[in-house]
Amino acid sequence: MIQDIKEDNSSVLNASSEDVPQSTACKALHRVMQTVILLQWVQNTLVPNLGFLGKKHPLFAKYYKFVIISQLVYLVIILACVFLLNLKSKKNAAQPVKKWSLQRCSKLNCSRCDARRAHPKWFKFKYWLLFLFIYFFMVFFVMCIQVFFAEDQTISLPRLLNLFGLQSRAIFATFLMTYCIKQYNFHSSVLETRGDCVDDEKRLLMEEDIV
């Protein structure tokens, strides 16, 4: 029985490797979408509102028009990629498609999974409190970046270094938020097998080791 559970678990963990990979066109469209979304995120979070510089520097007087045009271009590119992906999926409807699924923890001894099983409500509350804490600082840094030139339009090396520090903190908060979300999804639920789950498998394997 233990051997059957091991085989079931390996089949679940390696299920994605048996799927048919996506075509080169689909991969290229996904990369284009990811690049556009990344550029949009950088422009909306890490780049300060340069329209404030229009008071002293006429070069930035038309910055707001540039922002509107760039947002429209991003939207058109994303919609075009989504349309082409849907069109491609309809043509290949008869073919098996690569499935996407969240990764789950399958360790026999995991302190975070043990904490989730022992106190599930506290596990969720702790992570959601951490999410709100990181999100607060991330929004704070982004707002500081956006209004960086609101009162002082001077461009100097010390001020640019200060701006770089704010941008670095915003990037760190974003990566920290992404990491915490991945860890929460990784340990928040269990993998399902034919008749058992990974938690039952851990218990059975540990009992076998004890015997």
Claim to verify: residue 24 and residue 57 sit in the same structural domain: yes
Q: What is the DSSP secondary structure assignment for residue 47, as one 8-state letter?
A: S
Same domain for 75 and 127, yes or no, is no
CA distances for 104 relative to 5, 11, 72, 97, 158, angstroms: 16, 14, 38, 21, 46
Last residue of a domain, one of 70, 101, 132: 101
Q: Is residue 19 part of a domain?
A: yes
What are phi and psi for residue 96, nearest 5 degrees? -65, 140
139 and 179 in a single domain? The answer is yes
Highest mean pLDDT range out of 53-57, 64-68, 170-174, 193-197? 170-174
Q: Does pLDDT of 80 surpass 80?
A: yes
Q: Which domain holds residue 140?
A: 104-211
Residue 2 inside a domain? The answer is: no
Average pLDDT over residues 132-158: 92
Of 189, 171, 186, 162, the C-alpha closest to 134 is 171
Given 68, 101, 134, which residue is the final one in a domain?
101
Task: Based on the fold, state whether residues 96 and 109 are members of the same structural domain.
Answer: no
> Rounded mean pLDDT of 151-157?
89
